[in-house]
């Protein structure tokens, strides 16, 4: 059994699968509340914000964006069309393969993402259980997972 040095109750060792299920459940259980909170901060549909947040991390092809979001090509085309019309992303032919479309966030799009991510009311209430150090530690661990997933 391992313990944390934060004074928290002992936590038994868990497999990666158990940790994944816990993380997945926490996110899914908060999804509706999160969508509502984000909608209160910005005036775009949540599906558009999900796409915008992904391309804020790095530009990607429209096909990759659709795969990562779990939507079909026609739905993604509509999402990207809307984001382009709002001036939040650009869509251009990919430099390596002109048949592919690369989606890139604009300065206005970055401002929208920043407006949501910098608003403390956007995060679920459960994050109040973490102090600043724990939040930084969690952010670092999630970044490691994101990098591993993209490699």
The pLDDT tens digits for 71-130 are 999 999 999 999 999 999 999 988 888 788 899 999 999 999 999 999 888 889 899 999
Record the pTM: 0.75
Confidence label for 7 from pLDDT (cuts 50, 70 and 90): low
The rounded radius of gyration (Å) of the Cα atoms in the chain is 18
Q: At 57, give phi and psi (nearest 5°).
A: -70, -45
Question: pLDDT by residue (tens digit) across 49-79?
Answer: 999 999 999 999 999 999 999 999 999 999 9
Q: Which residues contact 130 (CB under 8 A, 6 or more apart)?
A: 138
What is the pairing mode between strands 60-61 and 89-93?
Answer: unpaired
Looking at residue 8, its pLDDT comes to 63
Confidence label for 14 from pLDDT (cuts 50, 70 and 90): confident
Q: Which residues contact 26 (CB under 8 A, 6 or more apart)?
A: 126
Looking at residue 2, its pLDDT comes to 45
Q: Which residues contact 121 (CB under 8 A, 6 or more apart)?
A: 37, 40, 41
Looking at residue 5, its pLDDT comes to 54
Looking at residue 98, its pLDDT comes to 78
- Max CA separation in the chain (angstroms): 56
């Amino acid at each position: 059994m391992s313990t944390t040095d934060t004074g928290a109750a002992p936590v038994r060792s868990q497999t990666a699968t158990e940790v994944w299920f816990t993380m997945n459940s926490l996110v899914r259980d908060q999804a509706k509340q999160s969508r509502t909170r984000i909608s209160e901060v910005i005036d775009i549909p949540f599906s558009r914000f999900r796409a915008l947040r992904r391309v804020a991390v790095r530009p990607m092809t429209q096909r990759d964006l659709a795969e990562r979001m779990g939507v079909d090509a026609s739905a993604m085309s509509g999402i990207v069309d809307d984001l382009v019309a709002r001036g939040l992303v650009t869509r251009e032919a990919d430099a390596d393969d002109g048949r592919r479309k690369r989606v890139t966030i604009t300065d206005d799009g970055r401002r929208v993402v920043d407006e949501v991510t910098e608003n403390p009311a956007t995060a679920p209430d459960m994050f109040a259980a973490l102090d600043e150090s724990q939040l930084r530690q969690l952010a670092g661990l999630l970044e490691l997972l994101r990098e591993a997933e993209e490699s």
